[in-house]
Amino acid sequence: MRRALLLALLPLLAHAQEGTRELGGQLGSRATLLVLHSAKNPDGSWRLAGEYIVLPTLQRRFLEGEASPEIGVTTLREGATPILFGRSPTGELRGTWRAGVFKGARYAPGGQERERFEFSEEFPSLDAYSASLRCDTSDSGYASNLALVVESGKLRSLEWRSSVAASGQSCTLAGVEQQPFKGGLRFAAGRCSVTVRELGDYVRIAAEGCVDQCGSQAYFEPLLVDRRGNCRVMRPEAR
């Protein structure tokens, strides 16, 4: 799935350097995470591709479209697979994207309005966040073990291990240090960083740039934690 999404995004890189933006908000009444990869066209408009994930069901839809450079009008075609070209859409998101806020409506393939949405690049502060989490999750191909203690927004300890059954390889992360971070918490060890962000009733914990902590075919999948401390791997399948 990751490879398919990367292949779908490759044409964008011919126009400009790729960037990634995360936005949290509501799709109708449902808490949703929106992740978009952007690239600038020669005319100043932006090409966008990515996905949204509805929490906590982890329903996933892939997106591709364009945003105007001045008035912020943004249209994103929605589909059930990373490659949308030549396939029937499942819907369309139309709205405006200004000052880090994307809001508008989701439409059915026939043009009927289904639900309103609003997403923001600004995430809640976690300066007062406290938690003592121990997450042990696994399925047939992947296992993750996280131990995280945070008191009033300050890291006390973090250990994270994962393993991939198919390759037999694993990741191990410890000894991280806290870094200043707006809209959440960030911990780092070298180039590897762990970001904690609030998404409504959930907290998302994700690692990035952790090649040195992992075998060549191992990785850290993001984790989703509810208010009771229940954890699940945030690895949805397209539906």
Residue 22's CATH number: 2.40.128
Residues 147 and 170 occupy one common structural domain: yes
Residues 27 and 109 occupy one common structural domain: yes
Query: Given this model, what pLDDT does residue 237 score?
Result: 61
Task: State which of 101, 120, 139 marks the end of a domain.
Answer: 120
Residues 99 and 152 occupy one common structural domain: no
* Structural domains in the chain (count): 2
CA nearest to 118, candidates 106, 135, 110: 106
The secondary structure of residue 11, as a DSSP letter, is G
Compute, in degrees rounded to 10, the torsion defined by CA atoms 134, 154, 196, 209: -100
* Structural domain range at position 165: 131-233
Question: Exposed e or buried b for every residue in 87-121, given b needs 16+ CB within 10 A?
Answer: eebbbbbbbebeeebbbbebbeeeeeeeeebebbb
Q: Which two tokens stand for residue 191?
A: 């180039």
Residue 217 to residues 94, 140, 151, 189, 220, Cα–Cα distance (Å): 38, 16, 34, 20, 11
Indicate whether this model's pTM tops 0.85.
no
Residues 41 and 140 occupy one common structural domain: no
Residues 13 and 110 occupy one common structural domain: yes
Query: Given this model, what pLDDT does residue 206 score?
Result: 95
Q: Would residue 46 count as lying in a domain? A: yes
Q: Would residue 125 count as lying in a domain? A: no
Query: Sheet holding 154-164: strands in order across?
Result: 131-138, 142-151, 154-164, 169-173
Q: Would residue 99 count as lying in a domain? A: yes
Residues 101 and 146 occupy one common structural domain: no
Residues 22 and 110 occupy one common structural domain: yes
Q: Would residue 58 count as lying in a domain? A: yes
Residues 94 and 113 occupy one common structural domain: yes
Q: Would residue 74 count as lying in a domain? A: yes
Residues 182 and 108 occupy one common structural domain: no
Backbone angles phi, psi at 6, to 5 degrees: -65, -45
Task: State which of 120, 142, 157 marks the end of a domain.
Answer: 120
Backbone angles phi, psi at 83, to 5 degrees: -100, 110
Residues 82 and 36 occupy one common structural domain: yes
Task: State which of 59, 85, 120 marks the end of a domain.
Answer: 120
List of the chain residues with pLDDT < 50: 1-17, 239
Bridge partner residues of 23 (DSSP)? 34
Residues 116 and 12 occupy one common structural domain: yes
Reported for 87-93, long-range contacts at CB under 8 A and 24+ positions apart, including other chains, are 90/61, 91/61, 93/63, 93/65, 93/117
Query: Given this model, what pLDDT does residue 134 score?
Result: 94
